[in-house]
A and B are shown apart, each in its own frame.
Chain A
Amino acid sequence: MTIVLDQRSDQSLAVYIDGDLQFDSRDEGVYHELLALPALALAQARRPKRQLRALICGGGDGFVARELLKSSAIKQIDLVDYDPTILDLAQNEWPELNQHAMTNPRLKIHICDAVQFVDQAAQAADEYDLIICDFTVPRDQVGARLQSIDWYQQLAYILHPQGVIAVNAASPSQTPVAYWMIYNSIRTANLNPKPYRFSLPSFTEAGYGDDWGFFVGSRKAFRPREFDYLPLAEPREFLHDSEQLKRAFAFPSALAEKRTTAQPTKLASDALLHSLFAPTWDEASGTDWTSLDFVHDPAPLPKPHTSATLMPNAVQQALQADQGLDESQVFEQVVQVMPALRAEQTRSMVSEFIANPLRFLNSLDLRRLVEALLRRSRELPRKLVAELRLLRRHLQRTWENPQLLLSRGLRIVSVIALVIILANLLHPDTTYAKGDTSAGSGATSSQSMVRTNSPYDVVQAPPSTVEGRGFSSGTYGRGSVIDEYGSAYPTRRYRYYGSYYGGSSYRNYNRNQRPSEDPNEGDALYRLTPETDILANGEVVISLTDQSYLLLADQVMTVVDAEDGLPIVFLKRDEALVWRTHRELDRQRRGLDGSVKAKQDWIDWVSWAGFVPWRNDDEAELNNIVQTRGTLDQAIKSLGSIPANQPAIRVAPTAGGFQLFSSVWMNAEGTLAILEQPDGSKAYLNKTGWYSDSGLTQPLSEPYPDEFRTKVLIPFLSKQTTEYAAIKQRIEADLTSVKSDLSLLNSDKTEYTSIQRSYGPSDIVEYGTTEIRVDEALRRTNDDIARTEQLIQVLNDQLSSLPKQDNAAKKFLQSLK
């Protein structure tokens, strides 16, 4: 067990156990009052004159004990925790925080395993009036047994029939299936649980969900009126009264509905862990269902999940589903449902990890495996044996590309790939691996040339709510720029003269007369795409080079000098770019709308509690999102009229020319740039002049915009040619490396061939670290050669698909310098 103490500069303390936040001194009182006091009050109300015996399982920090000791009705508490370190810290380091509970004579500490302790209590026919389970959320099978039916049955055995149990569970909105699995396990043990929840800022900040859930239960089911006028022990810091507490029992009905299918779990089941590791981030706010409306839950109780399975449940279902024989679809399905297998993994990590299943199939000798499986065909279903035979035939001919194998519709190939994937996912080192994960020699360069001026053409669903901390950061709007996910990046700084760009005022700009006032200067506020920023006043700017940017406005596009904020040239609006930018702005604006609503609902939901100390932060974040959303409105307005339909991408004005960025092209020969001016006329520009005709005979009367050459074209083309050169160099380096592999393979082949010729096919030779017949070594070497040649083919294809304008760009760049 690893304990990390985070003593902050404001003197608050956060404690992590095995990476999970155990408590944060700023709000641990909320958690412990809510966990302990309702159960204590219910137990006291049921047996008002009795001196109560309590058992705390876990809770070695002493905080639950602190709460229980507030009541004089508590005669004795047994506290069971297996970790002496936390008990020692509680006693010696945090006595002020737990109000010396650990040395209170009414408390007896037992350093041992809770299951063992409860077993012994059952054998001794001990009985408790109150049991509080304050365990951390399970991260492994050992922890999960403390949320199983078996555990709760044991507890029911030592709980007085009128006694009360309270349980720390999980986040109902973030891991609803897990939360209701625990609920149904407690139900199965006949402990009649009532679910309740509240918001805990430190847990939310640590990523544990917007709400946190508990259960209170008893062998004798609670009547709703028992929750009226509860004698809550005092003093209390956060929990006000029964009315406030009763609101904690309300849930959105969609969330409560999930209890009808969440399976309770037996000791050996791993289903709870899989659900805990697979958050779904359901909507937390909503109060239209409450468990205080009934005595016994009328919802059906699903059958228990009993044993650990090799394949996670969801994966089994996806594999079993009858979807014809299209393996690619089966695999897609599996990738979507594959749960995390370890506490530290997230769904997105897992999805990324298994996005390319081929690399897993490539890592084993499939032919050897198929032979081994066929030797054990009696243990396999007939259909799969037939598949294996078919697979063997494919594999016997020559090396077969795993891509083809997956597409042949063999279910067994999916199973094999999955087993290898699971084996990899289980090892914690692999999901955090630092190396790149390419198969073969590392030919990962995708060569998808992203044009620097285009907002992404991919239309995706907006994120359901912002997750990053950018909007809630104290430095919002200063020094960092935020994207739709709320992630913050170092900002780019812009200088500009707003008065020149909007409407038709650009016509008044006199290049020969520098403005007397200083330019406006500001950071970008919002990042629309990696190249596109939105300024605080709603201007849309696209970074072209370090020295220049493109500003979109209602009538023209302006290439602006980033240093002095002055226009370099005005260009005709690229309607296709405007249309794409508008679509992206609108999409992200809708995303922010969703975030605003979620945040508002959230603030409404938690506001009743009154004990959420950071409500101001939430409101600041909401304000920042609302402000950003307003800026996106302004940005859309700044674009002026938007074409109704997607305009076609414009073709180069000269045959074979290449677009450099919107409204600017280079001719095929790489001798001049062509600019489309606001009135639609073309300007042809080379190193020394610009002209109205491509023959460069009619000079334009406007002064030659030398900054366009020095601050736009030269750095733009330099970056582009450097990048192309780097990509080319990368592929060539990969090619060299793969070719050296091939040459080693060919020399092996020559050697094996000569041995076979001299000594026959059954002669034994060294093949790596094994010794095999030479004919087999030769066959495997031929497979390896085929695989390597295919890789060479892929790399050559990548080389030949590199943009053709590279030569023209290099030539043009040379002529411009």
Chain B
Amino acid sequence: MQVAILPQLTIASELGQQWEALVQANPAGGVMQSLAWSQFKQQRDLQVVHFGLFDAEQLIGGMLCTIPAQSGVGSNLIAADGPILPWHDQALARQGLRLLREAAEQHAAEYGAIGLRIEPRLERPAPNLLRDWRRAPVDILARETLYLDLQPDEQSLLAAMKPKGRYNIRLAARRGVTVRISHDVADIPLFYRLMDEAGERDDFYVEPIDHFNDLLATLAPLGHAHLLFAEYAGQTLGTMLLVTYGQRAVYQYGGISNQLREQMAGYALQWAAIQHGKRLGCRCYDFYGFEPTGDPHHPFAGFSRFKRAFGGQAIALIGAYDYYFTEQLADVIIRAVRELA
């Protein structure tokens, strides 16, 4: 096996298609390893480095990493939803990860990297081959989440929900809440106003508006990003940004207005997103953040009560893991110490 830094691949190219197929087939992978996501991140002024893992000249895995351009201090190469490795085969995965890590370390200086962070969607416990890695202080993905299997038909999905979920979905429909799906960046300001309102109310940070604009502009033409709006009597009551990629649909962002909450717009949105994901051939719907036990003090407590109504299976992922490049890190620390002297 060997690792090479790949040029910027287009989705139409042969290698690009091979990469996309590998990512989509890998259950530990996700949209953040896609070429579309890398385009989006470049648009956001991040450098993207694509390491390809080859076996006898055949692309078998790799990782798309992002790192801030010209960071000065040094930052981490981050491969969220990755790397793409045959995780089911410990020996192969170990060898592949080792080669990827070594390649990243070898090229660290070029990108101003002091470490590598990976975050494959593997379920806990962490495999033994991560023994020389450390739990990262931050997880990019929602580490505890809820997956809904989209393979059963709609009636079975409804039947498997909690009665409250089923009831509220029907209640929203009866009351006349409809869901509009849009791929138009002109809808981003409306989406953002609702997100902002929810962020202020529920005390979470919302990325700047151009983040969402770039995300939709890059991913929507490829069929990977969808804006959903719950509408009622001429008002927009809630919104969601749904990302569909490969086998998975992810409820990436969403917000409900303070107005007319009794219309159950949130339920209408989730159900429309589930149906849309199913239509697009996704096999799994990720609610993106879920606390399974009902612990009232957990940061996810509020929305987990809502998500629980849709059924599904609680998933605990291993989270992000860091590997610092000792020499590069020592360089930066020595520079910092000298500034203080």
* Residues of A participating in the B interface, judged by any CB pair closer than 8 Å: 2, 4-8, 14, 16-19, 140-141, 270, 308-311, 316, 319-320, 344, 346, 349, 359-360, 362-365, 368-369, 372-373, 376, 379-381, 384, 412, 415-416, 418-420, 422-424, 426-437, 439-442, 444-448, 468-469, 475, 479-480, 487-490, 722-723, 725-727, 729-730, 733, 737, 740-741, 744, 748, 766-770, 780-781, 784
Answer whether residue B107 sits at the interface, using C-beta atoms and an 8 A cutoff. no
CB distance from A51 to the nearest CB of B (A): 41
Residue-wise, chain B 88-132 has the 8 Å CB interface mask toward A (1 for contact) of 000000100110010000000000001100000000111011111
Q: B60-79 vs A: 1/0 string, CB under 8 Å?
A: 00000011101111111010
A430 touches B134 (CB 8 A): no
Complex Cα distance, B213 from A5, in Å, reads 10
Set B132, B186, B205, B210: member contacting A769, Cβ < 8 A:
B132
Question: Please, which residue of chain B has its CB at the minimum distance from the CB of A411?
Answer: B340
Q: Which of B234-268 contact A (CB under 8 A)?
A: 258-259, 261
The 5 closest A-B CB pairs, nearest first, are A435-B139, A768-B132, A19-B208, A726-B294, A6-B189
Is the Cβ of B293 less than 8 Å from the Cβ of A363? Answer: no
CA distance A717 to B98 in the complex (A): 54
How far is A780 from B214 in the complex, measured between Cα atoms in Å? 44
- What is the minimal beta-carbon distance from B162 to any residue of chain A, in angstroms? 15
* B289 at interface, CB cutoff 8 A: yes
List, in ascending order, chain A residues with CB within 8 A of B76's CB: 423-424, 427
CB-based contact B137/A479 at 8 Å: no
**Could you say which of A7, A363, A741 has the most chain B C-beta atoms within 10 Å of its C-beta?**
A363
Q: Within the complex, which residue of B101, B200, B340 is in contact with A316, where a contact is CB–CB below 8 Å?
A: B340
Question: A729 → chain B, closest Cβ, in Å?
Answer: 4
A380 near B129 with CB under 8 A, answer no
B contact residues around A479 at 8 Å (CB): 258-259
Q: How far is the CA of A435 from the CA of B291 in the complex (A)?
A: 11
B134 and A364 contact, CB distance less than 8 A: yes
Task: From A444, A737, A780, give the contact of B316 (CB < 8 A).
Answer: A737
Further pairs besides A19-B211, A433-B140, A769-B94: 13, Cβ < 8 Å: A4-B209, A5-B189, A141-B70, A360-B137, A373-B333, A419-B332, A427-B75, A430-B138, A434-B140, A487-B200, A489-B258, A741-B125, A768-B133
B208 with A416: CB separation less than 8 A: no
> Residue B231 at the A interface, CB < 8 A?
no
Residues in B whose Cβ lies below 8 Å from that of A740? 124-125
From B139, B213, B329, contact of A434 by CB (8 A)? B139
A residues less than 8 Å from B72 (CB atoms): 270, 308, 310
Q: How far is the CA of A731 from the CA of B2 in the complex (A)?
A: 43
Flag whether B164 is at the interface (Cβ < 8 A).
no
Task: Tell me how far the C-beta of B211 lies from the nearest C-beta in chain A, rounded to whole angstroms.
Answer: 7
Asked if residues A2 and B43 are in contact (CB atoms below 8 Å), the reply is yes
Give the Cβ gap from B45 to chain A, nearest Cβ, in Å: 8
Are B201 and A488 in touch, CB under 8 angstroms?
yes
CB of A748 within 8 A of CB of B131, answer yes
CB-based contact B75/A744 at 8 Å: no
A553 to chain B, nearest CB (A): 29
Instruction: Decide if B12 is an interface residue (CB 8 Å cutoff).
Output: no
Which residue on A lies nearest to B321, using beta carbons? A363
Of B74, B138, B323, B333, which contacts A437 at CB under 8 A?
A: B138
Listed A/B pairs (5) with beta-carbon separation below 8 Å: A4-B188, A5-B189, A362-B137, A419-B329, A488-B200
Q: Are B337 and A384 in contact (CB under 8 A)?
A: yes
Q: Is the CB of B289 within 8 A of A434?
A: yes
- Asked, given contacts A18-B210, A430-B138, A434-B141, whether A372 binds B326 with beta carbons under 8 Å apart, the answer is yes
User: Are A311 and B340 CB-contacts (below 8 A) given A16-B209, A362-B137, A434-B140?
Assistant: yes
Is residue B299 within 8 Å, beta carbon to beta carbon, of the partner chain? yes
Contact between B297 and A363, CB atoms less than 8 A apart: no
**Contact present for A376 and B299 (CB under 8 Å):** no
In the complex the two chains form, is B330's CB within 8 Å of A469's CB? no
The residues of B that contact A748 with a CB separation of less than 8 Å are 128, 131
Q: How far in angstroms is the closest Cβ of chain A from B84?
A: 16
Q: Known contacts being A435-B319, A439-B137, A488-B201, is A310 close to B73, with CB within 8 Å?
A: yes
CA distance A189 to B82 in the complex (A): 51
Contact A311 B336, beta carbon cutoff 8 Å: yes
B residues near A488, Cβ cutoff 8 Å: 200-201, 258
